[in-house]
Amino acid sequence: MASPIRILTAVPICDGHDSAINTINLEFIRHGIEVVYLGYHRSVSDIVRAAAQEDVRAIGISSYNGGHIEFFADVVRELRKQGAHDINVFGGGGGTITHDDAAIMARKGVDQIFFAGTSLSEMTDYVRKQYGKPRKKRTHAKNPDLVLARRLTEIEDRSGARRRSAITGDGSTSDRRKRTGRVIGFTGPGGAGKTTLIDELVLRFLNQDRHSRIAILSHDPSVIGQGALLGDRATMINSQTDRVFMRSMATRGQAGGLSPATHDCLAHLAQSNFDYVIIETVGTGQEAMPFQNDGIIDLTVLVMNPDYGSRLQLQKIVMLDLAEIVVVNKSDLQRARTAHSEIEQRLEQNRRGQKLIDTVAKRHRDPGVDRLFDLISADRTR
């Protein structure tokens, strides 16, 4: 089957109106479109960087604060400057954007402006018709992220028609001699704070070495034939930099927290001159073992929150047997001390020397996150 259409949606800088774009995102998803949502208050550079790394077909901008003629034009101009001529721009703004404004924006390269009263079905039909066509081969891409992003798209498209392969065109995924970076896997239940924790660790990685580059492979759920909301970028703050390459992936019907193409994409990233490659799974349950016998993950981190239920439920979580590091995030919650004690006893039974760390990822300069960073950094030197 054909690969889903991928678009990026965002709200411009100094604009916090996200109700409309959230409604539109859901409609796109219901019609089989994969939406990478960047969130609100985003700059031109944030939007263009994300669109390039995600290799989307188009960018949809929802603007309600004015300044839309200049902002949309700047996005188009920066895309062309980077060599991403095949990434298009459309958008809307209720009654903020006039028809005269739209005519000026069209001359500046904007595909389409939707006005107040346009139905959701009209928007969806336009996106499917306009951006569902086969894409021309990209030439003269000045940004190396564009080349890498298109390669990941090719791997993902190839994996859509078959099961995960053990070997890619780049060689064996388990060949550690070709690695340039450390591969760290993060998993855990939804809502535990994995994305926020990763973003805080990225800040520390970047500050430790001013020349380092980080790759992030992030997953969100979807089923075959339907779309997905790929929203981890919306909560990323420290990762909005050219030194971080982030790619969002939908599971496309595969259970277990990963995509059919994850293994091959991860192998390619691990050989692409990044100091660290971080993979984040979909929020997982008791049975999920996403990195078991993977052959490419160097270190597995399980992120939990204190509200996992009874001690009996704790005994059922298989990943507690496999993770090298277990993090109790949101440790400022009331039940955190009890959770730490119960999980500590569970890990002692494993007799594997697993590490247990308490964090509050949302807290600036959290000492628990510092300790986790030190463990990961030390592990790389082994």
Give tens-digit pLDDT for 93-140. 988 999 999 999 999 999 999 999 999 999 999 999 999 988 877 766
Residue numbers of the domain that contains 14: 6-131
- Regarding whether 200 and 77 lie in a shared domain, the answer is no
Q: Does residue 330 belong to any structural domain of this protein?
A: yes
Burial 347-374 (b: 16+ CB within 10 A, else e): beeeeeebebbbbbbeeeebebbeebbe
Share of the chain above pLDDT 90, in %: 70
- Regarding whether 228 and 95 lie in a shared domain, the answer is no
Q: What's the pLDDT at 315?
A: 86
Predicted confidence (pLDDT) per residue in 327-339, tens digit? 999 999 999 999 9
- Regarding whether 211 and 123 lie in a shared domain, the answer is no
Q: In this structure, what CATH number is given to the domain that contains residue 105?
A: 3.40.50.280
Q: Does residue 229 belong to any structural domain of this protein?
A: yes
> Three-class SS of residue 303?
strand
pLDDT band at residue 171 using 50, 70 and 90 as cut-offs: very low
Q: Does residue 159 belong to any structural domain of this protein?
A: no
Reported in sequence order, the residue ranges of the chain that DSSP labels E, i.e. its strands, are 6-10, 34-37, 58-62, 88-92, 112-114, 167-168, 171-172, 182-187, 214-220, 228-230, 244-250, 276-280, 299-304, 325-328, 355-358
Q: What's the pLDDT at 31?
A: 94
**Predicted model pTM:** 0.91
- Regarding whether 202 and 82 lie in a shared domain, the answer is no
Residue 35: closest CA among 128, 105, 104 = 128
Q: What's the pLDDT at 69?
A: 96
Q: Does residue 200 belong to any structural domain of this protein?
A: yes
Q: Does residue 362 belong to any structural domain of this protein?
A: yes
- Regarding whether 282 and 352 lie in a shared domain, the answer is yes
Is residue 168 over pLDDT 50? no
- Regarding whether 195 and 46 lie in a shared domain, the answer is no
What is the rounded average pLDDT of the residues 190-210? 95
- Regarding whether 370 and 316 lie in a shared domain, the answer is yes
Predicted confidence (pLDDT) per residue in 339-368, tens digit? 999 999 999 999 999 999 999 999 989 999
- Regarding whether 251 and 124 lie in a shared domain, the answer is no
Of residues 215 and 141, more confidently modeled: 215
Contact 236, 42 (CB under 8 A): no
- Regarding whether 322 and 200 lie in a shared domain, the answer is yes
Q: Does residue 150 belong to any structural domain of this protein?
A: no
Q: What's the pLDDT at 276?
A: 95
Q: What's the pLDDT at 293?
A: 60
Q: Which two tokens stand for residue 358?
A: 């308490």
- Regarding whether 332 and 199 lie in a shared domain, the answer is yes
Q: What's the pLDDT at 256?
A: 80
- Regarding whether 184 and 110 lie in a shared domain, the answer is no
Predicted confidence (pLDDT) per residue in 147-157, tens digit? 999 999 999 98
Predicted confidence (pLDDT) per residue in 220-268, tens digit? 998 766 899 999 999 999 999 999 999 999 998 888 888 989 999 998 9
